[in-house]
Structure 1
């Protein structure tokens, strides 16, 4: 059985951690998935989102080359507003081919 990440769901307030790593969807779909993911978290639960940053196309190596599916700090801001954010930033990652640019969001659902 397979599920589609854009429609799959978990019970509300049932998870301690949701990790979304290198999931690249168009902005509307990404925001819908991530907003739902915040709802899956128990109070105090954590959300970690990590993915290729849109600036990686020009200033990094590897990753998708379609800007419409890449992350950015501004693009994740609507999700960040739903959390107590510890980190929302562009980060550099060393790869064998050179430096890649990613976006990271690490936050906690408040009570």
Structure 2
């Protein structure tokens, strides 16, 4: 919002670029989440009795990391969707306003003598 003139200026190319980047980032975060869960499941049984604590901490840390990546992916994707919906809403308002303005003033062809 430009406070100096009190109106919203929607930058469609910038919004489209963000939505594209957000989609790519969400996909990468989702893939990283899948890899984190794979790492969490690595068999560390060869560490023996002394390594049991480490193996449990390893699995827990990577599972937690995977959860954070899942959340980041969901939030990034949702924000991109919100930007798209907001742009569509503004476009609809602009179209409706333009139609109302056009209908409020008779055109040259509508002037009756």
Query: Fold-level match, TM-score > 0.5?
Result: no
| Bigger CA radius of gyration | 2
TM (norm. structure 2) is: 0.25
TM (norm. structure 1) is: 0.26
- Greater relative CO, 1 or 2 (CA 8 Å, sep 6+): 2
Richer in strand (by share): 1
